[in-house]
Chains A and B, each alone.
Chain A
């Protein structure tokens, strides 16, 4: 405020503003505005929050924390969380990995990048898996792999459907090959859940990429995506580096993946809970042919 006033005074006295002063004038308190990463449209954060963190211009569904996601998805108070205290070790002795983890645990209140548990959606019992991109871009290391595997195994033993909200930058580099093996571990658990004839739904949220796309996220019976989110295997930068040209904006978007045949449907955030409840109900009785 004061600065603005000063600059008015300065302009009066000095005429034209210098570039530096112009720059200063556009300083805006952090967090006041939201700039959409898809369409670059700028809106007030407050409006964006009220809109369920959905860009009012292009309908991009931005990232939610795992807790926010659970709040709008499952029945209130229904979560029985699994393995809430599991934390990672440092399997390849990566420099500063423990310190980084510790700092992030403090900052995010999360122990690692996924929350798993048993819950209900409109009374339908499920096992739910929600990844949180605020923790190391929800990369899949030992904890993410183990918690997801245990959750799916629990669902298989107890004949429950699994709903996984995926978001991930891919494998966790800091855990090296151990991270890669989590792809096999989680996919193995999906294979057994699948053989038991149980329902598995993934909801791909922003961003679902790399080793998560190339394992359990792509193996569901039904794959849902939120509008405009990023879904792919290889990173955009890597592909651009390979083909030596810029990729179109909608490349690897949810819409692109529907067209390519790898996503069943795009569902808006405000309709997600309802859609999941309907799909759960539809699968509850098993196929009529069984009877």
Chain B
């Protein structure tokens, strides 16, 4: 695995030819039927979802969409979902639960959209509900961070049994520019933020957030999308094998504990201040 800094990885995942879910879905899954709408308000182009086969097994795929040009980005709002996106994701997850098929979430967003309409339609509530309901969803959930995993907007699709990251992907409490903006009131200090945020796949394995790292083709996924897709497919296959043999109680308890153990604290203040 290459030995790059967080900043160098940021450059790779922002490469203009970085593969998106539009490339990966046909390479990894067969007969994808896309479903639209949250049944409450509308359809969000920033999250696509549907049913398909994975190596012959029916699965539900829910994926955050990024565009490669302005037209595509207009449709998917630069990969920043509105509440109806998260509500669609949850609807499809519940549908998967009803029909006993696993859910594969593909994460790639700098964050949920910060806008007036998004607030009015309850961005906070939509994310919260998604987090809570994925926690008790009665089928295996595998999440993979493809590029950027930013903030609650990523976590809403990251409550899962196993979370893997592509080798150069990042996953963070907020986008590096948002981090710089909050802490130093200067969003241009993004690269500095990258260095201290601990956002690479290796960092996140150490922090017990990430369970597996998926290799990209040499130089980054854009150099060989097929190879990278093959690696993702292999990971999903192995992860599903691990999860499908568990009882439902085991599965849900382990999912709960996966998040339950995260946090670093001490029970008593010994610092004598």
Q: Which residues of A contact B (CB under 8 A)?
A: 83, 85-95, 102, 105-106, 111, 141-143, 145-146, 149, 171, 173, 175-185, 187-188, 190-192, 194-195, 210-211, 213-219, 232-235, 238-239, 242-243, 247, 251-252, 260-262
Question: A287 → chain B, closest Cβ, in Å?
Answer: 22
Q: Which 8 A-B pairs have the closest CB atoms?
A: A234-B114, A213-B124, A142-B263, A233-B124, A89-B264, A218-B128, A214-B127, A184-B259
Contact of B260 with A188 in the complex, beta carbons under 8 Å:
yes
Interface string of B40-73 (1 = CB under 8 A from A): 0000000000000000000000000000000000
Interface residues on B, range: 35 or more
With a cutoff of 8 Å between Cβ atoms, the chain B residues found around residue A252 in the complex are 119
8 contacting pairs across A/B (C-beta < 8 A): A182-B262, A185-B262, A187-B159, A216-B128, A219-B129, A242-B113, A242-B114, A242-B115
A218 adjacent to B183 (CB under 8 Å): no
Inter-subunit contact A233/B265 (CB<8 Å): no
From A179, A182, A184, A195, contact of B136 by CB (8 A): A195
Residues B271 and A262 in contact, CB atoms below 8 Å apart: no
- Would you call the interface of chain A mostly helix, strand, loop, or mixed? helix
Chain A residue nearest in CB terms to B121: A260
Q: Select which of B124, B136, B179, B262 is within 8 A of A214 by beta carbon.
A: B124
Contact between B151 and A180, CB atoms less than 8 A apart: yes
Q: How far is the CA of A106 from the CA of B273 in the complex (A)?
A: 7
Q: How many Å lie between the Cα of A92 and that of B122 in the bound state?
A: 31
The listed residue (B135, B181, B265, B273) touching A187 by CB distance below 8 A is B135
Q: CA A233 – CA B112 in complex, angstroms? A: 9
Given the contacts A184-B131, A242-B115, A176 and B198 also touching, CB distance less than 8 Å: yes
B contact set with A: CB distance below 8 Å: 112-116, 118-125, 127-129, 131-133, 135-136, 151-152, 155-156, 158-159, 171-174, 178-179, 181-183, 196-199, 203-204, 207, 209, 256, 259-260, 262-269, 271, 273
Task: Write out the residue numbers on chain B whose beta carbons fall within 8 Å of the beta carbon of A180.
Answer: 151-152, 155, 172-173
Contact between chains at A85 and B116 (CB < 8 Å)? no
Nearest-CB distance from B272 to chain A (Å)? 10
On whether A181 and B262 interact (CB within 8 A), knowing A85-B267, A239-B115, A239-B119, the answer reads yes
Residues of chain A within 8 A of B264, CB atoms compared: 88-91, 142, 175, 178
Contact residue among A89, A146, A233, A262 (Cβ-Cβ distance under 8 Å from B127): A233
